[in-house]
Structure 1
Amino acid sequence: MDLPTMLDADTQELTASWSGTVTPYVVGDPGRAATAVVERLARDAPDHHGTVLDGAVVRPDDEAPWTHVRGASVRGLRHRQDGVVRQDEYCFRQTADDRYLVVAVADGVSAGSLSHEAAGVAARFGCEIVGDWLGQCEVSELPWEHVLKTLSDLVVQRGRAVLRRRRVSVDDWSEGAFGEALATTLVLAVVDLRPDDGSYRVEVVRVGDSSAWVHGAAGGWRSLHGLKNDSEVIASSATAALPQVTSFESESYRVAAGDLLVLMTDGVSDPLGDGDGDFGRFLSEVWATPPSVTAFGAQVDFARKTFDDDRTAVAVWLG
């Protein structure tokens, strides 16, 4: 066999040993920024990743159906261009007895210099604290006001620690100053992984405009809180934030087996709108079944003109 023939054979063998591609998702007009933005490092937070994603399957026992979970948080185009840290965060965990899945999504308020720290504390410790409480009480007895007060204290503690590490004196910082620097929204859900009569109990608490949505197995998106700015109550909730919690919403829902529960920041909910547009149809199609973890991250990192905020979503496919 001469050399060219040998090289062709080797190339064919190597090419045949792998397959696949990564193609960015585009919904409608992506705008120029989707390809023109040069991603810059967030120099003030080099240890804070620009993109995080995760996935798992969980169930409370061998008799219950599997529940699939996917999570992703990506830095928006505006923050990539400006070298600003991702200010969203998420977390999910199963309780020690495997009975419940606790999910949290937080969105640091853009004007807050340490809001990414606040979002991280709210999401991670929110899941941990609620998980611990569920070892002591029923879902209906969860002390949400106490939980949010504890989270607020932890957010301020984190802020103090970060500022001291930066050699910033915090002795004259007022409560309002901490509130501005560390402001974050939070939406947290507790999912009972044991279905009852064809549906799952879901408890949701919410501070600010991060939201929870359900996509029915038959199609269609439904916000569990009403649409953003659809009423005076919903519009005013957008101003609420940890660590200065002036108001919060908590409600119990029944979500049908086979439905999809999604917690998201407004980087996803704003383009979703009322769920009837092309972006809603896009999510309906790509999330009809649980995608791979990497595909889910790419879907959250969609390109669409004018929507350049950080995006975070945790999706839970129920039974």
Structure 2
Amino acid sequence: MRSEATLLMIDRDAVNALLDPADVTAAVREAFLLHGRREGRVFPVVREKLATGGIFGIKSGDVPSKGLLGFKAAGFWPDNRQRGGEPHQATILLFDPATGRPLCVIDGNAITTVRTGAAGGLGLRTLARPDSSRVTVFGAGVQAASQLRFALRTLRRLETVHYVSVNRDTDAAFESLFRAQCDIRCAHDANAAVAESDVIITATPGGGPLFDASAIRPGTHLNCVGADTAGKRELPAGVLERARVIADDREQALQLGELQWSRDTPVIELGQLLLGNSPFERGDGDITVFDMTGLALQDLTVARLVYARAQALHLGTRVAWPW
């Protein structure tokens, strides 16, 4: 009955309890395959700076064959740190595509963190050298930690981790998360750390180049996360021109990602690689870059997973939503 319709609200704690890294990876891989086959649509991204100093964005899309329709409203409010809160804020809504009725409202912060880490892991599995043993991570925040967790799950020979914090100082809390899994230490010289690494992960707010282009040696793979808005970048000039570049979505990366700074660079989408539609063989000396701007379809496939599990386990809060 329409008068008895309800809306399911799934908060942060429930979402965290429902996210399994392997299952999230499978859902994110599905999103890349759907995008590669163009079975799922990615609608134009909204990304706007606010007078408050925040950035507000909307990523939306649908997958008709899967009955998926929804969006994520998200952004970055740096002043939240002074309030004791998380700067990244995200909320996901799923809809019934037949009626337009909202099905659920889901806290999107945890989903964004884990699905981005899973996408990074898929990039490493597909593009990095399998014998990679040394990584440098730029950033020591929530997303840097997620990227490193999935890197350690994906690259089994990874044993040495250098990280570069915003202030170049040791971050004991960040180190404690990984000390049992690897040899982790703060890198005070970013260029030296890059030169010694097989993999570079950049997960910062994207305020500017993080190291010198000359520091990258042949054979290095880079996962680039922080450039997700026009004007942001983490890579220095000259890197993309030397690299084989892969993006989650070409047009989105040209607008928001590292590719906005080198628009004529040839690019392949990861979904095409996973489908086997684009021949790709990594040479030992190739530099590869995964330009990650985040797909709406990733949010939708992971949100669908959370929604189904919450229903099965009777988690979340239902509120009356008659129509």
Flag the structure with higher helix content: 2
Note whether the superposition's TM-score is higher than 0.5.
no
TM-score by length of 2: 0.25
Query: For the pair shown, which has the larger CA radius of gyration, 1 or 2?
Result: 1
Question: What TM-score, normalized by structure 1, do the two folds share?
Answer: 0.25
